[in-house]
Structure 1
Amino acid sequence: MQLTFLEPLLDRRGPWATVYFDPAQNDESGAKERELIVRDACRTLEEEGADSATVQAVREALTDITPQQDPAGRVIFAAGGEVALSCRLSRPPQNAIACWAPLPRLAPLLELAGQDPLCLVAYIDRTGADFELRGAAGPKDAGSVEGRQRPIHRTASADWSERDFQLKVENTWDHNAGEIAAALGSAYEESGAELVVLVGDVRERPAVLERLPEAVREVTVATEHGGRAAGSSSPALEEAIEQARREHAHRRVEKALDRFRAGRSDTGSPADAVEGVPALVEAAQEHRIDTLLIRADGPELAAEAWVGAAPDQVAVRFTDAQTLGEGDPVAVRADDALLRAAAATAADVLFVTPADGEGGDVPTGGLGALLRWTHEPAA
């Protein structure tokens, strides 16, 4: 999961209110349950010391969440009397989470928002395409492209003039496939997407696919469901897109775990992978984390770390934080500190479960990382 959408949380001082909210069912009993959940969440924030303006901002944001728009719920991050970020969840929280802390409570987001990759969906027909970006923050328009508008439709006649016209139609289709592929390749590069899904015209899809740059083609899948026309969306299309994202995410986790196991070193040579809070904190200080691995049941997630205002001001001990230039460091959870640092340096984050291949207790303690570069061992 890329955490660039967390940017609104990185340059603001806390404390922070974090609430993971399930809007319950869309009926009368659900409405009453939502009222109780909102009341309990705000009471918890007040009891933990949240200021009244921030509590009110959270209350208003939670009240606006509905099961129609957000069936799995949302997470709200608020500080200084306003909501800084609200993200849609792909899975409802099993237990209510509301807390007031120096840093936003980020770790549950990995599981509840899903780590399905940032996905670029291309809705294609023979005249052009519309692009949509799918990520943790919800769908987002990513532009469009229009090709030649005529001639587009073939005729059924066998007359030579009609055959010439049909050839022109097919040339238009081919030209437009090239235009769509070029625009899609650019949108892929600009968006930072990890996966492309082609939706739409049965002839144009493969024509676009074969014209894509190789790097884009390797991460592109197609679905027969849906199309570009208004109203062509369907539950089958939504499931096909989500299935493609899940499968891509699973392959990425498996590949990362293989690299992690191979990268750990106990021979004194530079390691491409590290685990444990002290080693990860050092890597975060130096912006060396390429991919942060988090295992939900790891005991070190709740270990204590010390942070300052900047995301890379993170240390294992209070005195270490002071040497980083922070005069008044605060104690936080290690997972939240490392996630903030990872987001600030555009590192990737992967959520690991025991079901991921031979994941088991890898990484040890629940926290590990693949590194961007390594230190040479001391002589």
Structure 2
Amino acid sequence: MDLGFLRPLYESDGPVASVHLDTSRDTTDADKKIELRWRHLREELKALGTDEATLDVLEEAIGEGNSRAYGDHGQAVYASEGRLLGEYTLTSPPGQDRASFLPIPDALPLTIDRGRRLPYVLVALDRVKAKVYAYGGHPSEGPVLESENIGENMQNIDGATRIFPGQRGDAGGRRADTGTAQDIWRENAAGVAELVRKAVAKVGAQAIIVGGDDEAIAYLRDNLGPRQLTIPIKVVAGGRGGIDAEERLQESAEECLRELVQREQEQTIDDYHRKLAHDQAVRGTTPTLPMLSEGRVDTLLLGSDREDEPHLWGSTTSPILVDTSPRGLDDPNSAFQAPASALMLRSAVLSDARFSELLEEGEPSGDSGATLRFPK
């Protein structure tokens, strides 16, 4: 996963307040619950030394956050010196509400959440009509883009060119309008394909999920071949044909997304283990730190289990440096302590490394590791 979206969180020289909050709208008293959760975290942040201006900015962002408008979601908010650095909707509510006030943002919960979702395009179609939806790599109230294609149908063909019951077709007995119909379906699919390409470009989609008429899907595949788009096209249940079909399509798409994310994570872990065997990767926090400090990490792998997470040392003057001791930094006088994940993630972001969640047999891990840009 590209970590570029996190860069704005590191644009402050002052300490950063990080909030991860359950903002689900699953009950009629959701507003009150969110208010109480935030009040508790505000008091916690105040006790940690957070200034009032920063607390007020956080409160405004939480009060107006998009995640408060629908469903079971969470919110991640970051602020420093009275300035909002970033506000994000989380796909799932955090396991527990948490807040920190540190020299750097505590961004691992947001990063893990982003890695569990992919930007994608969803298509519902039959041989005449299609709807195309583009969804970003983070939850939202609706699609980032929605478009519709209404193609031609056989009713639009001049009746004089059609063969009706009781009439003969061509010499082979084939109905004369068959070729015409197929040409129309192909032309309709070409129009849908153009909308799909635009939707893919809009959100940087990593998958196209399609439901609907089998023949229409086949025509669409022809128009989105490898020379057009290289991302996978997945066919799922549901499609056009009323509310039930559309709801089934949405449910099928969510299940398909989970499978795609799981497969991508498994491929990343397999690649990591292969590279470990050839000195192209390191396992564990201590071996990973010098690789981060030297800018040699290609992909940083961190687990989401932070129960026994250690604190490490970072530098205010050289942000990619991270060590188990201040003596390992360029200037011990600029050293500070922070949770290991926060420091390692900052180093990865500012050295343009990628990220993946580290899992053990499909379950959250407390370990860390990295694949390298070149062998040890």
Letter matched to residue 93 of structure 2: P
Report what 1:132 is aligned to. 134
Same amino acid, percent of matched pairs: 22
Deviation at 1:27, TM superposition (A): 4.6
Q: CA RMSD in A?
A: 3.8
Contact 1:129 1:228 in 2 (8 A): no
- Closer/same/farther in 2, CA of residues 355 and 110 from structure 1, 3 Å limit: farther
**The 10-residue stretch of structure 1 (210-219 or 169-178) with the greater mean CA deviation from structure 2:** 210-219
Report what 2:209 is aligned to. 197
Report what 2:163 is aligned to. 158
Alignment of 1:87-236 (within 5 A): 87-112=88-113, 115-124=116-125, 126=128, 130-136=132-138, 138=140, 141=144, 149-150=151-152, 153=155, 158-159=163-164, 167-181=179-193, 184=196, 188=200, 191-214=203-226, 216=229, 219-227=232-240, 234-236=246-248
Corresponding residue SS for 1:59: helix
Corresponding residue SS for 2:360: coil
Give a deviation string over 1:227-252, Cα, whole Å, max 9, x none: 499x7885433322221121112112
Aligned length: 361
Report what 2:64 is aligned to. 64
Report what 1:12 is aligned to. 12
Report what 1:281 is aligned to. 289
Corresponding residue SS for 2:17: strand
- Closer/same/farther in 2, CA of residues 131 and 32 from structure 1, 3 Å limit: closer
Contact 1:4 1:346 in 2 (8 A): yes
TM value normalised by structure 1: 0.78
Report what 1:79 is aligned to. 80
- Closer/same/farther in 2, CA of residues 340 and 127 from structure 1, 3 Å limit: farther
Deviation at 1:59, TM superposition (A): 1.4
Deviation at 1:79, TM superposition (A): 1.9
Deviation at 1:99, TM superposition (A): 1.4
Report what 1:272 is aligned to. 280
Take 1:337 and 1:201, find their aligned partners in 2: how far apart are those partners? 50
Report what 2:253 is aligned to. 241
- Closer/same/farther in 2, CA of residues 210 and 154 from structure 1, 3 Å limit: same
Contact 1:2 1:118 in 2 (8 A): no
Give a deviation string over 1:64-100, Cα, whole Å, max 9, x none: 3565425222111222323322222222223221111
Give a deviation string over 1:262-286, Cα, whole Å, max 9, x none: 2214xxxx61111233432333344
Asked if residue 330 in structure 1 is aligned to residue 336 in structure 2, the reply is: yes
Take 2:83 and 2:212, find their aligned partners in 1: how far apart are those partners? 41
Contact 1:209 1:217 in 2 (8 A): no
Give a deviation string over 1:15-74, Cα, whole Å, max 9, x none: 111111113565565443322212111111111111111101111222335654252221
- Closer/same/farther in 2, CA of residues 133 and 233 from structure 1, 3 Å limit: farther
Corresponding residue SS for 2:12: coil
Structure 2 gap ranges (5+): none
Take 2:77 and 2:217, find their aligned partners in 1: how far apart are those partners? 39
Structure 1 gap ranges (5+): none
Report what 2:359 is aligned to. 353
Report what 1:339 is aligned to. 345
Take 2:236 and 2:33, find their aligned partners in 1: how far apart are those partners? 39
Contact 1:307 1:330 in 2 (8 A): yes
Corresponding residue SS for 2:99: strand
Contact 1:74 1:89 in 2 (8 A): yes
Deviation at 1:370, TM superposition (A): 1.9
Take 1:98 and 1:4, find their aligned partners in 2: how far apart are those partners? 23
- Closer/same/farther in 2, CA of residues 46 and 22 from structure 1, 3 Å limit: same
Larger Rg: 2
Give a deviation string over 1:202-235, Cα, whole Å, max 9, x none: 4322221233233856622122324499x78854
Letter matched to residue 302 of structure 2: I
Take 2:267 and 2:223, find their aligned partners in 1: how far apart are those partners? 27
Contact 1:151 1:168 in 2 (8 A): no
- Closer/same/farther in 2, CA of residues 174 and 288 from structure 1, 3 Å limit: farther
